[in-house]
Structure 1
Amino acid sequence: MTSAHHRFAAVIPVGICTPGLRGADPLPRLLVQLAARAGSEATVLRATSRPWASALFQGRRHAVTLRFGGRDAASACRRFAEGIEEAEWKLTGHFVADITVDSVHPDEDGKRLELSALTIEDW
């Protein structure tokens, strides 16, 4: 489990986000892009990743929780979620096969959004 502010990229160990490393967990690179989409008032509260495989593909399942704060939290959360299923993500060696907002809840500081994603190794 990872918990970090949106400016977390500097603390990610280099070995897990080396571009082009087949099999490396793409979650850190996905989090950087999600944080950029979410904006400066958003915080990554939780991010997990676990292996996934089918008969033909292998990849990882990801669960991410974001908190949107500030006066504009509701509209920032709405803008983030709008069109996320069609968004383009750049993950060298992987692609996002599915991404969806699972739930949005109010919390003491704004809105809490939970999403899940499936990334597949791009052979």
Structure 2
Amino acid sequence: MTSMDIVRRSDNLVPNEAKRAGPRDPLPRLLAQLTERAGEPVIVERATSRPWASALFEGRRHIVALRFSGADARDRRVRFATGIEEAEWVLPGHFVADISIDEQRSAPQEEWIELSALTIEEW
């Protein structure tokens, strides 16, 4: 007969450090790559991240607002937005399942983009 007490005792279990720490939010790494793609000068006006889940996947939904400034702001905004849906992102432990531009605005020497992204945890 096998005793279940061995299994229930927590002092003899080796904790999984990655699981204990919980999934890390990929937003900081995503922001670094977005600002690199945007070029300088760019300001992150707003960045939010919240948990997201479906029946099969877990991840995070991100909303990011960027402000481009300078004489070439319009050109940089257009370059940034062009092909963003097909861009490759390096997010260890996650992948970008969806990214899209939600809004674009212009003003003299300033441009704004608001985008949303869905990142999924890799198993």
Query: Which residue does 1:63 correspond to in 2?
Result: 63
* TM-score, structure 2 as length reference: 0.80
If you compute each CA radius of gyration, which structure gives the higher value, 1 or 2? 2
Taking the TM superposition and a 5 Å limit, the aligned residue runs for 1:44-123 are 44-107=44-107, 109-123=109-123
Identity over aligned residues, as a percent?
62
Secondary structure of residue in 1 paired with 2:88: coil
User: Deviation above 6 Å: which 4+ runs of structure 1?
Assistant: none
TM-fit CA distance, 1:108: 5.8
- Is 1:26–1:94's contact at 8 Å kept on the other side of the alignment? yes
* TM-score, structure 1 as length reference: 0.80
Question: Structure 1 counterpart of 2:84, which letter?
Answer: I
Question: Structure 1 counterpart of 2:90, which letter?
Answer: K
TM-fit CA distance, 1:85: 0.3
Structure whose residues are more often helix by fraction: 2
| Distance across 2 between alignment mates of 1:50 and 1:84 | 21
Question: Structure 1 counterpart of 2:27, which letter?
Answer: L
Gapped runs of 5+ residues in structure 1?
A: 1-20
Secondary structure of residue in 1 paired with 2:106: strand
TM-fit CA distance, 1:118: 0.1
- CA 1:38–1:62: 2 relative to 1, 3 Å: same
Taking the TM superposition and a 5 Å limit, the aligned residue runs for 1:25-36 are 25-36=25-36
- CA 1:109–1:22: 2 relative to 1, 3 Å: farther
TM-fit CA distance, 1:50: 0.3
